[in-house]
Amino acid sequence: DTEVTQTPKHLVMGMTNKKSLKCEQHMGHRAMYWYKQKAKKPPELMFVYSYEKLSINESVPSRFSPECPNSSLLNLHLHALQPEDSALYLCASSQETTVNYGYTFGSGTRLTVV
């Protein structure tokens, strides 16, 4: 299995809703990432998990809460989002963070906040 699987593919949520994005990989990668991408822009880093521990938080608002239950799973919990949070949320994984490796990106969750 050489893929990163993200669910759901599309999500529409109101500003008072709570939802979660899920990401799964079975490549044995020990680094997992959440990126946010707006149209025609590069991906922006949100969080990095290394060996299931949060290693980088790019000053992301607390309405985004990451969780790494095990080495294969990464969640992003969403609460009280704003319309400007609408974007494509990409999960990625790499072998580890002690040496730089290329990422494998998931297909993303297209989030719309109404």
Partner 1 sequence: GENVEQHPSTLSVQEGDSAVIKCTYSDSASNYFPWYKQELGKRPQLIIDIRSNVGEKKDQRIAVTLNKTAKHFSLHITETQPEDSAVYFCAASGRGSTLGRLYFGRGTQLTVWP
Q: Which of residues 64-103 bind partner 1 (CB under 8 A)?
A: 90, 94, 96-103
CB of 6 to partner 1, least distance (A): 9
CB of 18 to partner 1, least distance (A): 26
**Taken in order 97, 6, 3, 68, is the CA torsion positive or negative?**
positive
Give the Cβ contact number of residue 34 at 10 Å. 24
Binding test (CB under 8 A) with partner 1, winner from 41, 57, 61, 77? 41
Residue (68 or 94) nearer to partner 1, CB? 94
53 binds partner 1 (CB under 8 A): no
Yes or no: say if 74 and 55 are a contact pair by the CB < 8 Å rule: no
Report the Cα 95 to chain-centroid distance in Å: 16
Per-residue tokens: 66: 């990451």
